[in-house]
Amino acid sequence: MTRRERRPRRKRAKPTPSGRREFRAAMAVDVEFRPAFQKAERLIEQGRAMPAVELLKPLLDTHPRNPALHYLLGYAYVSAGHAWMGLNEYERAQQLSREAEY
């Protein structure tokens, strides 16, 4: 191909309103996830495990397949004295981490 010859441009698909809404919602979720996760870690370190559990449980609605979230929730449950609930979350975290594709 010479300099003067150009490849035809591919047409981009125009974003739809529903696609834009989904994109914005996904971005908002990611923005809210990290601070809540970090706050829960601090609460557990301070010995306030049940408030951490209450902070982490709603995150499972938006991130149900996040092994780190299940692990931290399990740790919070164990720290609060709810060993069986913590064990369930640990097992779920282990199962999800095995399924992860790298």
Q: Express each pLDDT in 52-64 by its tens digit.
A: 999 999 999 888 9
**Mean pLDDT rounded to a whole number for the chain:** 84
Higher pLDDT, 17 or 71: 71
> Are the beta carbons of 67 and 97 closer than 8 angstroms?
yes
DSSP at 12: P
Q: What number of residues does the chain have?
A: 102
Q: What is the pTM of this model?
A: 0.68
Two tokens at 68?
Answer: 């780190």
CATH 1.10.760.10 holds for 19-99: no
Instruction: Dump pLDDT digits (tens) for 3-30.
Output: 667 777 777 667 666 666 666 665 555 6
Q: What percent of the chain has pLDDT over 90?
A: 56
Which pairs count as long-range contacts for 33-37, CB under 8 Å and 24+ apart, including other chains?
Answer: 33/59, 33/62, 33/63, 37/68, 37/69, 37/72
pLDDT at residue 1 in the model = 56
In angstroms, the CA 82 to CA 9 distance is 60
Q: What angle do CA 58, 62, 64 make, to 5 degrees?
A: 90
